[in-house]
Each structure stands twice: as C-alpha cells, then as structure tokens.
Amino acid sequence: MNNISGWLGPGSSLATFLLSEWQVRRGVQGAIAEIGVHHGKYFILLALLCQPGERAIAIDVFEDQHLNPDRSGLGDLQQFRRSCEIWLDRPDEVIVHQCDSLLLAGRDIFSPGLPQTAERREGVRIFSVDGSHTAQHTANDIQVAFDTLAPGGVVIVDDFYNPRWPGVQEGVHRVLNRRNDIAVAAYGDNKLYLVQASDHAAVYDFFSREIADLYTDTKAVEVCGRDAVYFTLKDALAAFDSKLDRCARLTSTFGQGGEGAVRLISGWAPHREAEGTWITKPKAVAAITVPRALRIFANRDACLSLTLTPFVHANRPSRRLAISTNFGAGFEQELIATTRIELPVPRQAVKKALELVFDGETPEAPAGILPGSTDTRPLSFMVRECELDLEPPD
Ligand SMILES: C[S@@+](CC[C@H](N)C(=O)[O-])C[C@H]1O[C@@H](n2cnc3c(N)ncnc32)[C@H](O)[C@@H]1O
C-alpha cells in the first residue's frame, strides 16, 4: 500500500479483504474489475484477491485526461503496468481498457477491443467504481458494473459521503431512485458497498454481524428504504504483514509505540532507548492492548514473548525478575543476561488490555558502579521486544 501512489485507506482495504474471503467461502466466483485505476493502488489489492481462474479488469482513460472532466486522479498507463509487474504474478493476464467509461454500456469488458454485446453478461464479483466523480459518470459506471455483476457480487463506490466529491452522492442516488433492484448494504471508510437487491440480506448480514467486532464505530442506518451498516475499521494494518498476508502476530518495541499497543503506566525511565525501556522503580506496570483487527485471530490461546536485559555488574552477576499479570500467567527467575521469556495468554484475555507488573529488585544507578558511567538513573531491567503470537504452534 505504501509503494503505490493513489487513494486507499487501511479500513477499506481490510473491509475489501474480508468481504472477498467471505465471498470465496460462500462459493461466489467471478472477476474483479475497477473503473479508475490511477497507478493501481486499490486494483493491485483486488487483483491479489483473485482466486485461480479469476481475471482482473482495469479501465481508465490513462493519458487521455481530456476525458476526465473533474480531474479526479491522473491515470498513467506506464505506472499502472509497472505496479502490475512488481506486485502480480501474472501481470500479462490483466485485461486493460484505455477508454472513457461513458462508452462501456453494452460492451463486453472481458474482451479486448470492448466489442458490443446484446446479452447481460455476468461475471464480476467485486467491481470498484472510482473513475470520474461527476454524477453522470458515477451513475453510468454503477450501472455498467451491475450489468456484469456475478450473483453474490458487490459494487464498491469510492468517495461516498466525501464532501469534496458531491457528484458521487448525486450519481449514487440517481441510480437508487431509478432502480429498486440495487441496494446499499454498507458504507464506511470512504467506500460504499452496493449489491443486487436479491443479495442484500446476505451481504448486510456480513457487515452487521460477521465483522462487527472489528468496528471502532458503527451504526445501523437506513438508505433508500433498506437496512445498511455505517462503519469504520481502525488499526487494520496490524492484521497484515508487508506482503498483505494475514499476520496473527503483534510485534512492538517496548515503550516505542510499535502499533501503539504497549502503554507504559508507571516505573519506567522517561528517556527511552531505541531498543527498549529501562525499569527505574522497584515495580513497573505496563499494559498491552491488542488492536481490534488482530482479535479476529484469537481462536486459541496466545503466547506473549518478552525480551529483557538485567542490569548486572561485577558485584551483582544476576538479578531476580518476577512478573505478575491480570491474565493468570506469572514468571519468576534469576537472570544473568538478555533472555526471552514466554507467557501463555488465554484466548479470552486478548479482548482486554493485558496488564503486567514487573518486579526487578532494587534498581541501581550505573554511575558509581560502572567505571566512567555518568548514567544516574536507577535501573533494574530493560524490556525490549514484545511479541504476541495469536496462532502459536501447538
Ligand atoms: C481517484 S483516481 C482512482 C484512484 C485509484 N482507484 C486508486 O486506487 O488509487 C480516478 C481515476 O479515474 C480515471 N478517470 C477519470 N475520468 C475517467 C473516465 N471518464 N473514464 C475512465 N477513467 C477515468 C483517472 O484517470 C484516474 O486514474
């Protein structure tokens, strides 16, 4: 996501990812398509969600910017192809149409050259509408998308309720006023999720129940006479690694923030070294909050690993560490060097803040003990990396 320029938030990426997984679980099949790909930021995510045999279709005016009346984005075919080369296994299989979306009605978007077709074509399971943001283009593009939508498919419209792009709202409502076979299932994090009226109940259920525990804000609303879900998803990136693979692991450097998961409450050095934080009082308290997006992985007991270094010297070759927690785990041992310890975390505990109390024996200031040291802070242990593995091996 950080490597391709464009417009895409972590919340809508996670919603799209989970929606796609849900479709696949239910046997929904089809291509993915996008009108308005710019450099491919969202398109690449969609293309990576394709299952074997599913195709990816990209439509943009690219360099023909005279066909982009409201200057929404700036397509660039070379940049787009480069994104496909870098991120997709089979970039040659992407179907690319350089054209004005207003010309797509009645055309076969699966075929090069966009031949005319009289039949209603079905075959796209996720269709993103993000081209020109005028009301005319938005209404046109949504209808083009529904002409090719597979059963169980979803049309995702960007910039819904974005005050900078009022044409999108107008275009959406033009379609909804005219066609009662199209319904809103949900909207959030700048995207709107439209479905065939016959799929509304199932997709509404996905947004209102299946992923509801990930929302940081949500409200049951009504749009054009049908139930819809408003939502925001935060901390979404915590659930992915750099390859967009789901990652059931929270990694954070103690005191440095990481994903903002570790909160140092009392007993810690105010100055934090890059690699961790020293305990400066006989007792230090910290809490770890697992981002909501990661809690979906908490289907079994987790494992919390901490790496700690004792402050030891010639007169104190080891130091006793005791850790007590609010999730039933504890630790007590004499440490002589940097050590990684593991604490079991029961599955249910992941939903609350994990509290840890460290007792590292009376801290001592290195100044006066280590020759040449000017560090007058009383120190006992440095807590370094912290890793919470939500799917540890059995
Ligand atoms: C907001 S950008 C799309 C952002 C993109 N989806 C992303 O993930 O970053 C809008 C894109 O729509 C394209 N566009 C504008 N007018 C269009 C039209 N009439 N037909 C097709 N594409 C158009 C622009 O060239 C631009 O690449």
Angle (CA) 168-66-45 rounded to 5° is 55
pLDDT band at 244 (very low <50, low <70, confident <90, very high): low
Alpha-carbon gap, residue 224 to 203, rounded angstroms: 16
- In this prediction, what percent of the chain has a pLDDT beyond 70? 95
Q: Which residue has the tokens 């065939």?
A: 196
Alpha carbon of 129 to ligand 1 centroid (Å): 9
* Nearest of 353, 312, 7 to residue 190 by alpha carbon: 7
pLDDT (tens digit, 9 = 90+) per residue, 136-151? 999 999 999 999 999 9
Q: Say how many Å lie between the first and final Cα of the chain, rounded.
A: 33
Average pLDDT, the chain: 92
Model pLDDT, residue 260: 63
* Nearest of 223, 192, 87, 80 to residue 129 by alpha carbon: 192
Q: What is the mean pLDDT of residues 78-85?
A: 96
- Structure token digits, residue 224: 């054009």
Residue 127: helix, strand or coil by DSSP? strand
Alpha-carbon gap, residue 56 to 80, rounded angstroms: 13
Alpha carbon of 36 to ligand 1 centroid (Å): 3
Residue type at position 374: T
Alpha carbon of 130 to ligand 1 centroid (Å): 6
Element (H, E) at 10: helix 10-25
Alpha-carbon gap, residue 127 to 36, rounded angstroms: 11
- Is residue 68 lining ligand 1, measured as CB closer than 6 Å? yes
- Structure token digits, residue 49: 């969600």
Model pLDDT, residue 257: 52
Q: Is the pLDDT of residue 236 over 70?
A: no
